[in-house]
Amino acid sequence: MRLFLLTTLTMVAFAANSILNRLALDAGGTGPASFAAIRLAAGAGMLALLVAWRSGAPRWRTGAGGPAALALYVLGFSFAYLSLPAGVGALILFGGVQVTMFAGAILSREAVPVQRWLGAGLSLAGLGYLMWPAGGAAPDAMGAGLMAAAALGWGVYSLIGRGARDPLAATAANFLWAMPVGLLIWLIRPDGVDGAGAALAVVSGAVTSGLGYALWYSVLPALGASRAAVAQLTVPVIALAGGIVLLGEALNLRIVLASALVLGGVALANYAFTSRSRGS
State pLDDT tens for residues 224-258.
Answer: 777 787 777 777 778 777 778 777 777 778 778 88
- Mean pLDDT of all residues in 78-95: 77
- Mean pLDDT of all residues in 89-109: 80
Tens of pLDDT, residue by residue over 126-178, are: 767 766 655 555 678 888 899 999 999 989 998 888 877 888 888 889 999 99
Q: What is the pLDDT of residue 146?
A: 92
- The domain ranges of the chain are 2-279
- 73: confidence class by pLDDT, cuts 50, 70, 90: very high
Three-class HEC string of the chain:
CHHHHHHHHHHHHHHHHHHHHHHHHHCCCCCHHHHHHHHHHHHHHHHHHHHHHHHCCCCCCCCCHHHHHHHHHHHHHHHHCCCCCHHHHHHHHHHHHHHHHHHHHHHCCCCCCHHHHHHHHHHHHHHHHHHCCECECCCCHHHHHHHHHHHHHHHHHHHHHCCCCCHHHHHHHHHHHHHHHHHHHHHHCCCCCCHHHHHHHHHHHHHHHHHHHHHHHHHHHHHCHHHHHHHHHHHHHHHHHHHHHHHCCCCCHHHHHHHHHHHHHHHHHHHHHHHHHHHC
- Mean pLDDT of all residues in 195-216: 92
Q: Over the range 8-35, which residues count as b (16 or more CB within 10 Å of their CB) and which as e? A: eebbbbbbbbbbbbbbbbeeeebbbbbb
- Mean pLDDT of all residues in 113-124: 81
- Of the chain, the percentage scoring pLDDT greater than 70 comes to 89
- Residue 74 near residue 213 (C-beta atoms within 8 A): no
- Mean pLDDT of all residues in 10-15: 88
